[in-house]
Amino acid sequence: MINQKRGVCVITGVGPGNGRAISAKFASEGFSVAMLARRAEPIEAFAAEIEGASAYPTDVTDVDALRQTLAKIQAELGPISVFVHNAGSGHFKKFMDIEVEDLHNAIATNTQALLVGGQIAAKDMLDAGHGSIVVIGATASMRGGIPTGTFAAAKASQRSMAQTMAKTLGPQGIHVCHVVIDGAIDVPWIRELLPDKPDDFFLKAEAIADTVYAITEQDPSAWTFELDIRPFGESF
């Protein structure tokens, strides 16, 4: 059945933090939400909790599987009007321990999936004359560190891809924004890793979701390409 709501929002890499919060936000704003993640169980549970959200278990690094899933979403929900690439991965190893496959896997998740998903979503948006693509990045896209070689390299290539997409698609009515998230997300497992940190050290997933949604509502005369989200308590 083709969607009759505000539009279709596809979100990759949906987990209990940002992905779930972004899904809930767009669903609450009247979108039909398609949640993608490798593991079926969590997103099926989220779908049961969030009215207007559906689960589409998919490994976004598998090009054929991603294309098939997006085609299924288009057939079941309708053309894609918002694409949020939240999926991300990286192997945190010292330089001499990095395997070539580690880099390939990180790029497949962060950049290859953005290319494949972005192209499919953009075709729908070009037909409609408008749409939004939001890429969830990280500070690592701008600088590498000793343990972040593959993650930083993948995020840097993702950021460059987002810039290419923005310059190509912006003049055709599609808003592309790269969101840098600089901080720890307030979810239980991260709290357990950082038990001594105060509340204002953490970024709230719901607040991030509000920001992502606001990006898609910006007037074209003042579109944001890059936004750096930081917690209030961080020292600059």
Task: Print the domain residue range for 33.
Answer: 8-229
171 Cβ neighbours under 8 A, 6+ residues apart: none
| Residue 47 in domain | yes
Q: Which residues pair with 137 in a beta bridge?
A: 180
Are the CB atoms for 174 and 133 separated by under 8 Å? yes
d(CA 11, CA 25): 12
Q: Of 156, 146, 41, which Cα lies nearest the Cα of 88?
A: 156
For residue range 165-201, list pLDDT tens digits in order: 999 999 999 999 999 988 788 888 888 888 998 888 8
The CATH number that applies at residue 67 is 3.40.50.720
Q: How many domains are there within the chain?
A: 1
d(CA 76, CA 104): 32
Task: State pTM to two decimals.
Answer: 0.94
| Residue 46 in domain | yes
Q: What is the pLDDT of residue 162?
A: 98
| Residue 2 in domain | no
| Residue 1 in domain | no
- Per the structure block, which two tokens stand in for 149? 């070689």
For residue range 12-52, list pLDDT tens digits in order: 999 999 999 999 999 999 999 999 999 999 999 999 999 99
Q: Of 48, 95, 40, 91, which Cα lies nearest the Cα of 69?
A: 40
Q: What is the pLDDT of residue 187?
A: 85
For residue range 54-85, list pLDDT tens digits in order: 999 999 999 999 999 999 999 999 999 999 99
| Residue 18 in domain | yes
| Residue 234 in domain | no
d(CA 19, CA 37): 9
Are the CB atoms for 206 and 186 separated by under 8 Å? no
| Residue 3 in domain | no
| Residue 176 in domain | yes
In Å, how far from its chain's centre is CA 85? 3
